Structure 1
């Protein structure tokens, strides 16, 4: 193949499928042949123009959740990478500032840069990125399923922050991709109870999927009200206006809360309640390298069934259909993939 296709967003709601030369990797870069790339809520924001200006740059090729195979390497990159199945971190951190040196690469003080938002992404035949962002997959890895390792890495960051203990009562607020991956991670820590709170919990298919992901109970938000103050650990994954508050209500006195969602608006946490009940609050923004490594290890070990969350696979030419599925809020739509 001597030509390469890429979805290009020239601005909000203005996209095209561009064709050009196959990109060449530069110094310490690799070129990946994309196998699959997933869409998430932030991709919808980017398409609609709802993403804050500091966190996007048009024109851009979207796509930050991806898997693929290294096809070529540039000068200074290891030739042994060619042919390896890989996923890769999205944040383009400087690796020199204080936060990067501490391992908090998603908080890099050099400024925000991320694949698929400010840098060319994976809704394309090929992706070029620095070799140090790669994470190698085990031989024979399912690349279709591996495309979900970016959200799994975010979940792994939440797992590292939460430090779940065996026998704890745990709740996950939100039953989307992040929520169900969170349930899978938490199930591996042997909780006494693992409850998923999801507005779609009264649908048998959604309840069955949550249970397949490790949930011992699945509740709608109104029924979860009766569970207030019961849980040692609550992980919020939905990013809806009321879900952070709902997570705090579910936590017991002295319990722990992890927030992973970023709502456009929120009915916030009560600081008095946090202090009086001595709740510990953690937040997650993206995934540093340690979280990526944990996610890949869990995937390679068979602890994550990411393929169970995929409901739609479309070619690059149907990017607009994929976005419509994402925005349609059909309860039967799970993870949508583009397959170049």
Structure 2
């Protein structure tokens, strides 16, 4: 079968690799759609910290935002999964340690990340093998585009829940990328007054029905009951702390390439709670539910769907021809470069 492989910094190739086989407790999934995110870009460019610590290495098979259909079940896996449409948790843990038993499997010391860390090939391929313990079923009427947005949606939902902003209160989201926009959509669905700060906030937020988009220069002096930092700017965590109301919360879900610093004296004297968000695990089911109920529709964020052969250009920063304004690019691994479906 065909699969995308990162062979070194700035190098991506489509390889013919062996078909996956379902081991004990696993299923095989035909992949219908995969999202490209900032982590994939960092793995492609070589900027990802895991490449320096040895957690990841080349050659690497990426892809962790995905949706597909189960086509085979291995020993110990319920054959009723066959034919089900699914997505899955990126964080695959040991299941036995203190953290796993305490509901924190996403920070298990032996946790593996599909398509990111060594050991679990990613979903940018025609098919993948995946453990049933980490599958998440999708409604039959949820299309592949929405299904592949469950993973980023789970991250965004966790950030909104961590911000603890009640209906009618005011939330400021720093960043208008995929996670920032999804966080804004989930917060709006829960009744918050949502404001977004970005470099060019007018590019998409009006189409999404948001009335409050600002830049650093135009941001009004309002009371912010919660602030989510979904940017990669090293100075943004300090800005979030400066803006948030005393006694409230700032949530950090973006990562900068250089260290971010804040003055903890300001945090203490404002009695602010800071929360870091890693992974979508605890938010996956909530994201599926919100999409199924149409409370949140993530599909307008997807600008284009490309083939495996076209990904290198996307990862290098080139937008596909005729791409829409959204920040997310999807891949259909079933298609050749001429876009005809493969059989």
Same fold (TM over 0.5): yes
Q: Which structure 2 residues correspond to residues 247-286 of structure 1 after superposition, within 5 A?
A: 247-286=240-279
How far apart, in 2, do the equivalents of 1:241 and 1:331 lie? 29
Q: Identify the match of residue 317 of structure 1 among 309, 315, 329.
A: 309
Residue 267 (structure 1) shift = 4.2
SS of residue matched to 1:190: coil
Match of 2:206 in 1: 208
Task: Provide the TM-score with structure 1 as the length reference.
Answer: 0.91
Q: Which structure 2 residues correspond to residues 289-304 of structure 1 after superposition, within 5 A?
A: 290-304=282-296
RMSD, matched Cα: 1.9
Residue 115 (structure 1) shift = 0.6
Q: Which structure 2 residues correspond to residues 22-171 of structure 1 after superposition, within 5 A?
A: 22-52=19-49, 53=51, 54=53, 55-110=55-110, 112-118=111-117, 119-171=120-172
How far apart, in 1, do the equivalents of 2:279 and 2:63 lie? 15
SS of residue matched to 1:235: strand
SS of residue matched to 1:21: coil
CA offsets, 1:230-285, max 9 Å, x none?
Answer: 11111111122122122112201112111101111144221011011111111101
Gaps (5+ residues) in structure 2?
Answer: 334-343
How far apart, in 1, do the equivalents of 2:57 and 2:64 lie? 14
How far apart, in 2, do the equivalents of 1:83 and 1:243 lie? 45
How far apart, in 1, do the equivalents of 2:89 and 2:309 lie? 25
Using a 3 Å threshold, how does the CA distance of structure 1 residues 160 and 194 change in structure 2: closer, same or farther?
Answer: closer
Q: Identify the match of residue 307 of structure 1 among 293, 299, 307.
A: 299
CA offsets, 1:192-222, max 9 Å, x none?
Answer: x210111112x4x32313x42xx34110122
More helix, by proportion:
1
Task: Provide the TM-score with structure 2 as the length reference.
Answer: 0.90
How far apart, in 1, do the equivalents of 2:136 and 2:9 lie? 32
How far apart, in 2, do the equivalents of 1:25 and 1:222 lie? 54
For this pair of structures, how many residues does the alignment match? 326
Gaps (5+ residues) in structure 1?
Answer: none
